[in-house]
Amino acid sequence: MVDMKGTQLIHEYLRHNKKFPHVFCAGCGHGIVLGSLIRSIHGLGLSKDEVCVVAGIGCSGRLAAYVDFNTVHTTHGRALTFATGIKMAKPNMHVIVVMGDGDSMAIGGNHLIHAARRNIGVTALILNNNIYGMTGGQCSPTTPAGSFSMTTPLGQMEQSFDCVELCSAAKANYVARGTVFHVKKLDKMIMDGISNPGFGVVEILTPCHTQYGRKNKYRTPVDMYKMLKKDVIDIDRYEKLSEADKAKKVPSGVFVQKDDSGLEEKFYQMAAKCQGGA
Amino acid sequence: MARPRKKRNKEIFALGNEAVVEGALLAGCTFYGGYPITPSSEIMEIMAQRLPLIPNGSFIQMEDEIAGLGSVIGASLAGRKAMTATSGPGFSLMQEHLGYGCITETPLVIVNVMRGGPSTGLPTSPAQGDVQQARWGTHGDHSIIVLSASNVQECLDNTIEAFNLAEKYRTPVILLIDEITAHTREKIIIPNPDEYEVFNRIVPTMPPEWYKPYEETVRGVPPMPAIGSGYRFHVTGLTHDTNGFPTSRPDEVRELNERLFRKIDQFLHDVQLVDEVDTEDADVVVIAYGTVARSAELAVKQARDLGVKAGLLKLSTLFPYPRKATEKIMSKAHTLVVPEMNMGQMSREVKRVNNGQVSVRTINKVDGQIITPAEILKVLTRV
How do residues B135-146 score in pLDDT, each as one tens digit?
Answer: 999 999 999 999
pLDDT at B1 over 50: no
C-beta atoms of A85 and B74 within 8 A: yes
User: What confidence category does residue B383 fall into, taking pLDDT thresholds of 50, 70 and 90?
Assistant: confident
**Mean pLDDT, to the nearest integer, of B6-22?**
89
Nearest by CB to residue B75, choosing from A18, A75, A86, is: A86
Reported as a single tens digit per residue, the pLDDT across A173-189 is 999 999 999 999 999 99
Site from B231, B235, B243 to mutate, A interface, most A CB atoms within 10 angstroms: B235
Nearest by CB to residue B75, choosing from A70, A85, A263, is: A85
What b/e readout covers B153-187, taking b as 16+ CB neighbours within 10 angstroms?
bbbbbbbbbbbbbbbbbbbbbbbbbbbbbbbbeee
C-beta atoms of A70 and B66 within 8 A: no
Q: Give pLDDT, residue B8.
A: 62
Residue in A143, A97, A125 with CA at minimum distance from that of residue A29: A125
Q: Give pLDDT, residue B9.
A: 78
Q: Which residues contact B316 (CB under 8 A, 6 or more apart)?
A: B147, B148, B149, B154, B158, B161, B273, B274, B275, B289
Nearest CA in chain A to B73: A82
**Mean pLDDT, to the nearest integer, of B47-74?**
97
**pTM, 2 dp:** 0.96
C-beta atoms of B82 and A85 within 8 A: yes
C-beta atoms of A73 and B73 within 8 A: no
Q: In terms of residues, how long is chain A?
A: 278
Reported as a single tens digit per residue, the pLDDT across B224-264 is 999 999 999 999 999 999 999 999 999 999 999 999 999 99
Reported as a single tens digit per residue, the pLDDT across A73-102 is 999 999 999 999 999 999 999 999 999 999
Q: How many angstroms separate the CA of residue B236 from the nearest CA in chain A?
A: 5
Look over chain B and give the mean of its residue pLDDT values, rounded to a whole number: 96
C-beta atoms of B67 and A81 within 8 A: yes
Q: Is A124 on the interface with B (CB under 8 A)?
A: no
This complex has an ipTM of 0.96
Chain A positions touching B62 (Cβ under 8 A) are: 81, 84, 114
pLDDT at B69 over 70: yes
Percentage of residues in chain A having pLDDT higher than 70: 98
Residue in A53, A34, A117, A259 with CA at minimum distance from that of residue B67: A117
Nearest CA in chain B to A270: B52
User: What confidence category does residue B3 fall into, taking pLDDT thresholds of 50, 70 and 90?
Assistant: low
Percentage of residues in chain B having pLDDT higher than 90: 96
Cite the DSSP H helix spans in chain B: 16-27, 41-50, 65-77, 88-103, 131-136, 152-169, 179-182, 250-265, 268-271, 291-305, 323-330, 347-354, 373-382
Percentage of residues in chain B having pLDDT higher than 70: 98
Chain B positions touching A73 (Cβ under 8 A) are: 234-238
Nearest CA in chain B to A113: B63
Phi-psi group of B140: left, alpha or beta (phi > 0 → left; psi -120 to 50 → alpha; rest → beta): left
Q: Give pLDDT, residue A6.
A: 79
Task: Give the separation between CA B248 and CA B253, rounded to whole angstroms.
Answer: 6
**Mean pLDDT, to the nearest integer, of B25-53?**
98
pLDDT at B2 over 60: no
Q: Is B208 on the interface with A (CB under 8 A)?
A: no
pLDDT at A217 over 90: yes
C-beta atoms of B52 and A110 within 8 A: no
Q: Is B28 on the interface with A (CB under 8 A)?
A: no
Of A28 and B1, the structure prediction assigns the larger pLDDT to A28
User: What confidence category does residue A276 fall into, taking pLDDT thresholds of 50, 70 and 90?
Assistant: confident
β-partners of residue A55 are: A73, A98
* Interface size, chain A vs chain B, as Cβ–Cβ contacts under 8 Å: 147
Nearest CA in chain B to A23: B246
**Mean pLDDT, to the nearest integer, of A60-81?**
96
Chain B positions touching A49 (Cβ under 8 A) are: 228-230, 232
Q: Which residues contact B261 (CB under 8 A, 6 or more apart)?
A: B141, B142, B143
Q: Give pLDDT, residue A277.
A: 66
Q: Give pLDDT, residue A17.
A: 83
- Tell me which range, A13-27, A264-278, B306-320, is most confidently predicted by mean pLDDT: B306-320
Q: In terms of residues, how long is chain B?
A: 383
